[in-house]
Chains A and B, each alone.
Chain A
Amino acid sequence: MLEKIMATEEAITSSNNGFVQNPVGGSNPPALKKKRNLPGTPGKLTNFIFKNIDSSIYADPEAEVIALSPKTLMATNRFLCEICGKGFQRDQNLQLHRRGHNLPWKLKQRTNKEVKKRVYVCPEKTCVHHHPSRALGDLTGIKKHFCRKHGEKKWKCEKCSKRYAVQSDWKAHSKTCGTREYKCDCGTLFSRRDSFITHRAFCDALAEETARVNAVSSIHDLTAGSINYDLTGNPLGPNMAQHFSSIFKPISSNDNQTRQGGVSLWMNQGLAQVSEAMGNNIQEVHQLRSVTSSGAMFGDLFAVSCSQTPPSDHYQLNWPVFGNKILSDAGASQLASVPSLYSSQEQQSHRTAPASMSATALLQKAAQIGATSTDPSFLGSFALKSNANKVQDASKFYGLYGSSPVSTNPASDVESSGNDQISTLNQLQMYPSKRQKIFQSDQDSPSGGQTRDFLGVGVQAICHPSSINGWI
């Protein structure tokens, strides 16, 4: 590894703007070929995708490590025209400019011999990128890094007085500053960030959410250890606090063909399969989370159908609590509170996230975690759709898997029969063709398989005729 101070720069492919990413600090570098954009190709998307396959020391152990001086890194416009004093960042540009003055000019040719790959380290000793193993592959990149982290922030946004060291950062910010609108959960729009923050801190939407969370968790504590409930209020098996899947344990009143029973039947069938498949790990919790998040929407219809006052049991109290809220309030904030049910099981890191997640975010998260082979776009679109209407969506979901009070739902075609699903699914925009294949091929796949729909419920749960029929 060589280290030398560079006196001149050369025009390295500049299209590779976004740089960085350093591979995971491991001992065995992956033998990956370095990807380099062709000059002129827009680099942003490819940069994102190939972020991890960067030209770092791992990619090419033979690369030349260069440590430029801080002066060099921070310098701009080092090439000056002797006539008018105009500064340029590159020699090539200066040469072209000199043509205008009728001065002799000469463009440096790129050397024909094999260009040695160069990587750059940050001269700042305390910096992570000082070590050659974490060098950056791009000259522009290292310059920007140095300015950002170790440089003086000379550029200031007029509107919000945010400071930047790199001019391009500042420019980019100025374009969007003030145009962004902040929306609180309660629906109010703000153009100013500080008034948004202050409002948010005192907003009722925030308070309600946590009030419900507190209510849930306090009851949660009460029932710790002994009592378990099911949908219809009969005590169940193991405690919810210990294992979530216990909630969905089959109950003796399976054969109840009332609507309530139908709900429980479906849930138990589908979710029981799910619960069997899952071990006690975070993955499971996430999938359960996604189950319950949609379950909350079911809960609302459930709550609608429940005419009697909710009994004091744990389970029922949870869902109608959320359910009622969905009916009356913005649905987004309700779902955000659902993950709090898992607070005892989740790690602390999950705790802070839920409060601020909207329905869209939750569903998308569920999609990311739960669906490994499911087409993400389906989930994305689904999530988007779900955010559009609050109550309507709930009925839609309901209709998707069972008899729906909403007759206009095209998804109600789905449950005509399990086997007809594939053809009827075609009619649904939400199901891209890829989805069909999943349905076809995985009819018999174990529930622990990779195919899951947005609910995280095994596909067969949907396809299972009897469960569908249970709805009707």
Chain B
Amino acid sequence: MKLSLEKVVQPLESKGGSPITHGYNSLQSPMDITLFSSKGTLTHLFPSHQQSNDRVAAIDMQSNSSTNNQPQTSHTSTSRSSDSGEACGAGKKWASKLLSECARAISEKDSSKIQNLLWMLNELASPYGDCDQKLASYFLQALFCKATESGQRCFKTLTTVAEKSHSFDSARKLILKFQEVSPWTTFGHVASNGAILEALDGESKLHIIDISHTLCTQWPTLLEALATRNDETPHLKLTVVVTASIVRSVMKEIGQRMEKFARLMGVPFEFHVISGLNHLGELTKEGLGVQEDEAIAINCNGALKRVEVEERNSVIQMFRSLNPRVLTIVEEEADFTSSRYDFVKCFEECLRYYTLYFEMLEESFVPTSNERLMLERECSRNIVRVLACDEENDGAGECCERRERGSQWFERLREAFSPAGFSDDVVDDVKALLKRYRDGWAQVLAQGDHESGIYLTWKEEPVVWASAWKP
């Protein structure tokens, strides 16, 4: 039996207990079944490379023997120091180096190198360690799935696991906590709410179409503003469109809470959920229940990236056909679209973005935060989806999240809408918002011809883009 096999299949104390180990389990299962079979070779990975079989086998033996002397290590951060005698060494950014190398190896189909690097990463990675270790762990999972073409299955497993432990309470706790420690989501909320309030000022019948997955946390402050801003409180109809199944299950409860809250605020309120859609392209005016005398605002928070790349323009056209007063777009600043046929490039971009995100999470939450762990797991699912699921939709409808940068969205949106800047008041509101959080956050106005909107920056790196559009 291979030593590496033993390493991989660690006896886990509390199997099937808490969700924490669930993820761990699923991480392990694809590996020990497929990668290190009893035959001990990687031939099945790249069946075309028959001639290198012997070489692979030889190297396998080599790596096996060289590590025979080493004791079994557990997947904790303490293992790092003992194992990193290998090539890369324990540098500051060892994870990104190793991961990039591995990605390149995969694209070059250099199986020995792949094997080596995967093994090394496996040694060093841990989802409970520091930032590098976490990145290593989650990206390793994706790389492995890519190498073994088991991405779809892995993703499904991860999603099922996540859904099992998902409830209204946990989701609410998660998002509220996240909003408390980081302006990642609230930035978009404040900017969008400001734009919406200004665009719909004076109207008496409002209809907001909300396509987002932030569980309606954007709307309480808007409701409060509607109630206190003017003497006459307008009637608000909120239609929420959800596509992710994980969100669907809690929408009923959320709806009830929103209705209660609106009553409390004294705002006449109607709440609808549209959840049967497979993808946004299926939305229609009738389906949304749009009426003639309503003033419409469309709020897309992280929604466009979920649309299939080819369908994005048509979805935007559909929005235009609804003739809204304002369209607010909030998207994360990363580009997984233009490089989707180039694995290495896509991988690099992915790595860059998620490194930033993980670092942000690490600095915002307390070290022992469970919420952060859940957010990281969510990222891991997305990473697997982007890197290892090759555009094959299994019909479940959840498109992988091919993000685009603000400037790219700008080009798309410009076809159907004209950019509307954020007013000074909104910019001030965002500034005041950011002041309430830790240092490191700032906002930057978009500049240039192909730019519009504002960026949220973390340590001077733009991470979230918010913009408003008018017909």
Contacts and interface: CB of A to CB of B under 8 A. Distances in A.
A207 B431 contact: no
Contacts of A194: 186, 190, 221, 433
Contacts of A198: 176, 179, 217, 220-221
B429 A207 contact: no
Contact of B263 (A158, A159, A192, A355): A355
Interface string B434-470: 0110000000000000000000000000000000000
Most buried by B among A197, A201, A356: A201
Interface in B234-280: 254, 256-258, 260-261, 263-264, 266
Contacts of A163: 425
B176 A158 contact: no
A351 B260 CA distance: 12
B257 A352 contact: no
B362 interface: no
A159 B220 contact: no
Contacts of A283: none
A201 B257 contact: yes
Most buried by B among A192, A195, A355: A195
Interface string A150-165: 0000001111110100
A195 B180 contact: yes
A161 B428 contact: yes
B432 interface: yes
Interface in A135-156: 156
Most buried by B among A197, A351, A356: A197
Nearest to B168: A202
A199 B176 contact: yes
Interface in A179-220: 192, 194-195, 197-202, 206-207, 210
Contacts of B261: 200-201, 206
Nearest to A162: B432
Contacts, number: 61
Contacts of B264: 200, 206, 352, 355-356
Contacts of B176: 195, 198-199, 202
B220 A161 contact: no
Contact of B429 (A161, A195, A197): A161
Contact of B221 (A157, A161, A197, A352): A197
Interface residues of A, number: 23
Contacts of A199: 176
B172 interface: yes
B101 interface: no
A356 B428 CA distance: 31
Nearest to A195: B180
B83 interface: no
Contacts of B263: 351-352, 355
Nearest to A207: B257
B266 A161 contact: no
A192 B436 CA distance: 8
B269 to A, nearest CB: 12
B224 interface: yes
A400 to B, nearest CB: 33
A160 B257 contact: no
A424 to B, nearest CB: 43
A162 to B, nearest CB: 9
A202 B257 contact: yes
B258 A201 contact: yes
A63 B25 CA distance: 87
A160 to B, nearest CB: 5
B257 A195 contact: no
Given A201-B257, A352-B266, A159 B435 contact: yes
Nearest to A192: B436
Contacts of B260: 206-207, 210, 355
A128 B42 CA distance: 85
Given A202-B257, A206-B264, A207-B256, A161 B172 contact: no
Contacts of B428: 156, 161
A157 B428 CA distance: 10
Given A195-B179, A207-B256, A200 B220 contact: yes
A348 B172 CA distance: 32
Contacts of A161: 425, 428-429, 431-432
Interface string B364-378: 000000000000000
A337 to B, nearest CB: 12
A54 B431 CA distance: 42
Contacts of A201: 219-220, 223, 257-258, 261
Most buried by A among B179, B223, B431, B436: B436
Contacts of A156: 428
A210 B266 CA distance: 15
A216 to B, nearest CB: 15
Contacts of B172: 202
A194 B217 CA distance: 11
Contacts of B190: 194
A35 B190 CA distance: 47
A356 B266 CA distance: 11
A206 to B, nearest CB: 6
A202 B173 CA distance: 10
Contacts of B429: 161
A158 B260 CA distance: 32
B441 to A, nearest CB: 15
A462 to B, nearest CB: 36
Nearest to B435: A159
A126 to B, nearest CB: 14
A118 B263 CA distance: 45
Nearest to B264: A355
Contacts of A192: 436
Most buried by B among A158, A159, A161, A199: A161
Most buried by B among A163, A192, A198, A210: A198
Given A201-B219, A201-B257, 8 more contacts: A158-B435, A159-B435, A194-B433, A195-B179, A200-B261, A206-B260, A206-B261, A207-B257
21 contacts: A159-B435, A161-B429, A161-B431, A161-B432, A194-B186, A194-B190, A194-B433, A198-B220, A198-B221, A199-B176, A200-B220, A200-B264, A202-B176, A202-B220, A206-B257, A206-B260, A206-B264, A207-B256, A352-B266, A355-B263, A355-B264
